[in-house]
Amino acid sequence: MKPLILITNDDGVQSRGLQHLASLAKEFGEVVVMAPDRNASGVSVSITCTRPLRVKTVSEEEGLAIYACDGTPADCIKMGVEYFCSRKPTLVLSGINYGSNASINVVYSGTIGAVLEACLDGYQAIGFSLLNHNPQADFNACTQVIRHILQQVMQNPLPTGTALNVNIPRLPTDQIKGIRICRQAPAAWVDSLEKRTDPIGRPYWWMTGKFVCNNPGEDTDEYALAHGYASVVPIRPDYTDYAALNQIKHFES
């Protein structure tokens, strides 16, 4: 039996990035897409607890079924594996996201929220993002990197409990120098909210901000991407700061 691959994203089921990822995944197995019915960027690992969820069938063809859910990317993973996959998926993919999920963007990303959810549920999971927010972004430039990574994972499963956050630079295929394994670059978003005044004089605020990542180490995703490489960061949904466990031992009572 062919491997089953579940795919979601946070840009919504109509996204060209999702469609490109699904067409690549079809080379490796049967594909089920369960994606948000609208843009769900910035929702992190949100789950929907206060209202019920609905699912619409978009299309059901041989080897590729596409469903839209009115929940978050993490909801889509739970929904997909519990009700729309005929067997346990071999692999869960998320993306291809419009724009970077490198460095601390990983924290806010719905794309990576889905990856963390799938990892918690015991699946091999990979998020893909292209550093291009343009609606006409050329996702073909991602093909070589994604095929390489899918081939690797199909041959050698990921370590248990580890997922991957893959970011691809905004370059033509022949200018992407290769793939680098990296750690998440430390960075900050500053001046996050812009204050404006509405026509009747009341204040409101828009999320905006400037990404500041000064001198990322050579082993980070930001460094790799800035130097023409695709970055692969192994991630896991364990937020423990192991290095700090001893440093705060004096809190015990």
**Is 205 a binder of a copy of itself (CB under 8 A)?**
yes
Name which of 2 and 148 has its Cβ closer to a copy of itself.
148
**Is 12 a binder of a copy of itself (CB under 8 A)?**
no
Residues between 218 and 237 with contacts to a copy of itself, criterion CB under 8 A: 232-237
Classify 24 as helix, strand or coil.
Answer: helix
Candidates 7-15, 86-94, 132-140, 243-251: pick the segment binding a copy of itself (CB under 8 A). Answer: 243-251
Amino acid residing at 244: A
Name which of 62 and 242 has its Cβ closer to a copy of itself.
242
Residues between 134 and 163 with contacts to a copy of itself, criterion CB under 8 A: 148-149, 152, 156, 158-159, 161-162
Classify 250 as helix, strand or coil.
Answer: helix
The CB-of-145 to a copy of itself minimum distance in angstroms stands at: 8
Residue 116 CA, chain-centre distance (Å), reads 9
The CB-of-71 to a copy of itself minimum distance in angstroms stands at: 9
In this structure, what is the dihedral angle of CA atoms 148, 151, 153, 155, given to the nearest 10 degrees?
Answer: -140
Alpha carbons within 13 angstroms on the beta-carbon side of residue 127 total 36
Residues between 32 and 91 with contacts to a copy of itself, criterion CB under 8 A: 39, 41-50, 52-55, 74-75, 78-79, 82-83
Tokens of 50: 């206060």
Q: What CA–CA distances, in Å, run from 77 to 30, 46, 131, 149, 195?
A: 16, 12, 24, 21, 36
